[in-house]
Amino acid sequence: MAHLKRSQRTRSPRRALLLSLLAIVVLLLAACGGGAAPAEAPAEAPAAEAPAEAEAPAEAEAPAEAEAPAEEEAALGSTLIGEIEGPKIITDPGAFPAEFNEAPMLADMVAAGELPELAERLPVATDLLVIEPVHEIGKYGGTWRRGFTGPADGQNGHRVAGGDRFLFWDAENFPEMTPNVAKSWEVSDDGTQITLHLREGMKWSDGEPFTSADVMFWFEHMYQNEELVPVRDAFFNIDDGATLEAPDDYTLVFTFPYANSLFLEVLGSSV
């Protein structure tokens, strides 16, 4: 009994010491665990937006440049080297030559009785087509060399081998027209009618006379024949609704449904 009490007295101080140490450890842990959580940092205030840049004032439109004055059209031939030259059609019978000549080959045929005299082959004296040469009367025979006006000169062959035309372009007064197969013409005041007067005494190569009847045959039986001419040539197109009449052997009258003064240029076309 005495032994048990002694043991209990011995353990009591040890227990007290153990409890003290435990309390110290708890305090140390509390200190190491840190105090209350630090207050959250206040949220940053939103950055103030930069003031909008003031819009630059609209640039004033520059005043429109004044149009340069139109250049005066250069006079015809002013940009060419040399002077404009071309054949001239003589229309005054008083200026016609007193006599005419023919190629030696044709003179030989006349001498052989194969061809009528020159005077018999010419039109009537007042209706002759007399062309004044540019420099001089040429020589028969030889080689004929022609110059082109440039790489795009597609009309050179037409000027040599194309069919004859009712009118010519005036070489010295372009774009005026001058007589050819037709010795003269008139245009009505309203431009809807063009009258041609043919030269009297013209002949085909076989000696038959050339008259307005030949033109009417072409117009009625060839030009208006859709089997022969399904598509009309753009360079010689007589408008739909136009008519052609021949009051006599040497007069042709074209009538159009509207003014067509440009048809004179068609009559001078090289095709």
Mean pLDDT of the chain: 78
pLDDT of res. 70? 62
Tokens of 153: 């000169």
67 band by pLDDT with thresholds 50, 70 and 90: low
pLDDT of res. 54? 54
Nearest-angstrom CA–CA distance, 159 and 161: 6
Give the sign of the dihedral formed by CA 76, CA 82, CA 86, CA 91. positive
pLDDT digits (tens, 9 = 90+) for 203-225: 998 889 999 999 999 999 998 89
Residue 208, Cβ density class (10 Å: 0-12 exposed, 13-18 middle, ≥19 buried): exposed
Q: What is the CATH architecture of 88-135+162-267? A: Alpha-Beta Complex (3.90)
pLDDT digits (tens, 9 = 90+) for 20-39: 666 565 555 555 555 444 44
Residues 6+ away with beta carbon under 8 Å from 242? 254, 255, 256, 257, 260
pLDDT of res. 149? 79
SS3 220: helix
pLDDT of res. 4? 41
Which residue type is seen at 12? S
pLDDT digits (tens, 9 = 90+) for 254-264: 999 999 878 89
Which residue type is seen at 39? A
Domain range annotation of the chain = 88-135+162-267
- For the ranges 5-9, 140-144, 164-168, 176-180, which has the lowest average pLDDT? 5-9
Is there a contact between 163 and 79 (Cβ–Cβ < 8 Å)? no
